[in-house]
Amino acid sequence: VGARLSGKLTETGKSLDFRLRGQLRSQKAGARLKLLSGHAALSEKAVGDGWHVDLVALKEGGFAYELVADREGLLTVDLAFAAEVLENGDWKTFEFSMPAGAVVPLQLEGFGSGISFKPDAPIVPAATAQGWEGFLPADGLASLAWKPTRVAAEGTLFFTSTERSEV
């Protein structure tokens, strides 16, 4: 309920630090929700008031984090995690999965203004006064790509010509 995701590109540009905030409505103790998988990992605490996070193996290989409710009711969740930045040619990307369902607002910082986002990626943020803002799609796949924009320089045109005529 009320989930919000914010991320900041690290100074080295090799990862993004994310923070997921919201509330979890649990109908019973022991309820589980697959929270995070892909190229991301928790970077701070894995427990909170009434919840904890377990690392589980996936059938198709790899690992995922599951959010586990320790009691029923409305639980406040505040999780920090880091996502790896991968390079593919000029493009820099990140990709991880979160729970499918509600569309989650995403705010990104640390990118600057001299970049362009891949228009066919699942997330294409828009520039705002607070940074870049977009939304995680309903399928839960958090993926975007960006690259520095090329600076258009004013060129100088130079040419010479010669002419010879006999009359």
Mean of per-residue pLDDT scores for the chain: 88
pLDDT beyond 60 at 153: no
CA distances from 131 to 12, 20, 54, 98 (A): 18, 17, 32, 22
Task: Let me know if 58 is exposed, middle or buried by CB neighbors in 10 A (0-12, 13-18, 19+).
Answer: exposed
Residues of the chain with pLDDT > 90, as a percent, come to 60
Per-residue pLDDT, 152: 56
Q: pLDDT (tens digit, 9 = 90+) per residue, 57-98? A: 999 888 999 999 999 999 999 999 999 999 988 899 999 999
pLDDT beyond 90 at 26: yes
CA–CA gap between residue 107 and residue 104 (Å, rounded): 10
Task: Give residue 96's identity as a one-letter amino acid code.
Answer: F
Per-residue pLDDT, 158: 63
Q: pLDDT (tens digit, 9 = 90+) per residue, 128-146? A: 888 899 998 888 899 999 9
Nearest residue to 97 via CA among 53, 64, 132: 64
Per-residue pLDDT, 127: 87
Q: pLDDT (tens digit, 9 = 90+) per residue, 106-118? A: 999 988 778 899 9
